[in-house]
Amino acid sequence: MSVPIKNPEDIAKMRIACRLAAEVLEMIGEHVRPGITTKALDDICHDHIVNRQQAIPAPLNYKGFPKSICTSLNQVICHGIPNEDKVLKDGDILNIDITVIKDGYHGDTSKMFFVGKPKPPAERLVRITQECLYKGIEVVRPGARLGDIGHVIQQHAESSHYSVVREYCGHGIGKGFHEEPQVMHYGKAGSGMELKEGMIFTIEPMINQGKRHNKVLPDGWTVVTKDRKLSAQWEHTVLVTAKGHEILTLRGEESL
Ligand code: MF3
Ligand code: CO
Ligand code: CO
């Protein structure tokens, strides 16, 4: 079990792939409104990635995944499949997860969108989940441990009376979509592998309004909360630098 350390050429190429992934999220925002289908969002992203960015949508045909992006609506935790029957309605919350491959390297990022006017409980879940991501990122530096990331995320989620999904985690990323290490979103401070300059991985907490338990629908992909309460997720790809970290998928709207 070895964690790749990226060289300067890898890092330069990862910066490019990650910026493209972030740009897809910036581009799609204005299209997320009541009445559009998740299939239409997939079509727009696919076209943008393939024709404008001249990149590859990594999910398409990945282990048989049939579409170019993941669209996870309301009680869907992750890996929702865009569908022409899924019409967005006022008050929905939607995660769009984008992974592009450019020049052989992967950039992976996701954000939550409100469809129309959000309801206060949904707004709180989405906000606290984003805070979980930022708190996880904040502790990333050489010498910190993977458990430090999981610990601060779990602490913030559970003290807000939410739960952390355990079956899915962040991951190393580079030429491979899912590389070592696995980045848990729960854990003990001071435990786990030590972070080293040049590692690149995602942090992508999935936080549930109710209990953490989940199941995969018969389509083999869509992961939903067992209690059918809401779930939220935010994801960034992060580089460990000498001084701390660099968020490779940072969007213009984020002030960090
Ligand atoms: N982008 C997801 C992640 O963050 C993985 C999606 S795999 C797919 O790791 F096949 F569902 F697209
Ligand atoms: Co990921
Ligand atoms: Co992702």
- pLDDT at residue 164 greater than cutoff 80: yes
**What's the CA-to-centroid distance between 170 and ligand 2, angstroms?**
6
Ligand nearest to the CA of 220: 1
Are the beta carbons of 199 and 171 closer than 8 angstroms?
A: no
Give 72-93 pLDDT, tens digit per residue: 999 999 999 999 999 999 999 9
Residue 193 has pLDDT above 90, yes or no: yes
Top mutation candidate among 97, 178, 202, 233 for ligand 1, by most atoms within 8 Å of CB: 97
pLDDT, one tens digit per residue, over 91-129 is 999 999 999 999 999 999 999 999 999 999 999 999 999
CA contacts within 13 A on the Cβ side of 17: 31
Among the atoms of ligand 1, which is closest to the Cα of residue 178?
A: 9
**Banded model confidence at residue 256, pLDDT cuts 50, 70, 90:** low
pTM of the model: 0.98
What is the average pLDDT score of the chain?
A: 98
What was the pLDDT predicted at 112? 99
- Cβ–ligand 1 distance for 79 under 6 Å, the answer yes
Distances (CA, A) of 173 to 47, 243, 247: 24, 20, 13
